[in-house]
Amino acid sequence: MSKLVTIYGGSGFVGRYITRRMAKEGWRVRVAVRRPNEAIHVKPYGVPGQVEPVFCNIRDDNSVARVMQGADAVVNCVGVLNELGKNTFSTIHSEGAGRIARIASQQGVSSLVHISAIGADANGPSEYAKTKAAGEAAVLQSFPGAVILRPSVIFGNEDEFFNRFAGMTRLSPILPIAAGSTNFQPVFVDDVAKAAAKAALGEAAGGIYELGGPEVKSFRTLMAQMLEVIHRRRLILSLPRPAAWLVAFGFDMLQAASFQLIENKVLTRDQLRSLKADNVVSEGAKGFGELGINPMTLGSVLPDYLWKFRPSGQYDEMTKSARNLRNGA
């Protein structure tokens, strides 16, 4: 019988790519999610019955243990960028991660992969950074041989980074951003999935790996590159920190006043605190090199999915060529 991997959060942005890669390796994949009916898009990643979404609440021991039974490997992709209801940074990043690792150790799972984030730091500026660090500590305490992956900002077809800002260019001639000088090292989502799959297959030594792409660029430079890809001219406005704080505070208060019916998907105060520090691979850290992976560049991927934000969408190049022909006639 083929081996089994349980992937917590396996239908999300990063998780679906790991699910696809593990299915291609011939493993049975159990995708543990809160809403299995909304995760049926992962089923075609394998042959019938190979990939199955199942219900799991990572805040509950019994729920986590039930979907892990019989698993040879476990991958935890669950994370939040904004606290909503009971899904706080602490309950998901710290307690949830520790729970999965503890139960994996109790059940004798061979490999455990935990997706964290660059910037995880017990003394970090944000609750996001602090709880990510606490989660890593809890994982290593229960499962010392775990592989922890710390990616920088992740880009890819379903990302919430470039897609969000590209969408904003349709609404205004100004593109406002916060902390425009903060550096990032964007990493392609499938490169992160390759690393996670290698670790789940037992092809990577335990420890922490920081995953960044081949380019380090400031937030402002990334937005300029995005605008070039989508063929739009917009004024990139880097908000002063007091102005950015007022925006974040306002949207946080709107979320609170609406009893979280309106989620702050613009900018939270905690995200603003995270932007105080560069989001790049630390000097001397293990990374893609030790995993034998050559990460993709932004330029080789962004046009593949941001074309839909061009003025004429997929026909933009054709429209541009026709315009040039008319002008040359």
Query: Global pTM?
Result: 0.93
Give the per-residue pLDDT at 316.
Answer: 61
b or e along 122-137 (b: 16 or more beta carbons within 10 Å of the residue's beta carbon)? Answer: eebbbbbbbbbbbbbe
Whether 196 is in a domain gets the answer yes
Token pair, residue 94, equals: 């710290």
Q: Report which secondary-structure segment, H or E, holds 76.
A: strand 73-76
Token pair, residue 54, equals: 């199942």
Query: Could you list the pLDDT tens digit for every one of the 329 residues in the chain?
Result: 689 999 999 999 999 999 999 999 999 999 999 999 999 999 999 999 999 999 999 999 999 999 999 999 999 999 999 999 999 999 999 999 999 999 999 999 999 999 999 999 999 999 999 999 999 999 999 999 999 999 999 999 999 999 999 999 999 999 999 999 999 999 999 999 999 999 999 999 999 999 999 999 999 999 999 999 999 999 999 999 999 999 999 999 999 999 999 999 999 999 999 999 999 999 999 999 999 999 999 999 999 999 999 997 766 665 665 556 566 54
How far apart CA 20 and CA 252 sit, in angstroms, is: 35
Write the DSSP symbol of residue 261. Answer: S
Instruction: Report CA-CA distances (Å) from 93 to 24, 30, 114.
Output: 28, 21, 10
Q: Report which secondary-structure segment, H or E, holds 7.
A: strand 4-8
CATH number at residue 66: 3.40.50.720
Helix, strand, or coil (residue 172): coil
Give the per-residue pLDDT at 202.
Answer: 96
Whether 70 is in a domain gets the answer yes
Whether 14 is in a domain gets the answer yes
Type of residue at 5:
V
Whether 300 is in a domain gets the answer no
Give the per-residue pLDDT at 319.
Answer: 63
For residue 39, give its domain range. Answer: 4-158+185-215+279-295
Tokens 């990374």 correspond to 287
Whether 168 is in a domain gets the answer no
Whether 307 is in a domain gets the answer no
Q: Is there a contact between 61 and 11 (Cβ–Cβ < 8 Å)?
A: no
Whether 321 is in a domain gets the answer no
Give the per-residue pLDDT at 312.
Answer: 78
Give the per-residue pLDDT at 323.
Answer: 57
**DSSP string over 238-257:** EE-HHHHHHHHHHHHHHHHH
Q: Is there a contact between 45 and 19 (Cβ–Cβ < 8 Å)?
A: yes
Give the per-residue pLDDT at 313.
Answer: 73
- HSE-up (13 A, CA, CB side) for residue 262: 11
Whether 105 is in a domain gets the answer yes
- Residue 279 gets the label, from left (phi > 0), alpha (psi -120 to 50) or beta, of beta
> How many structural domains is the chain composed of?
1
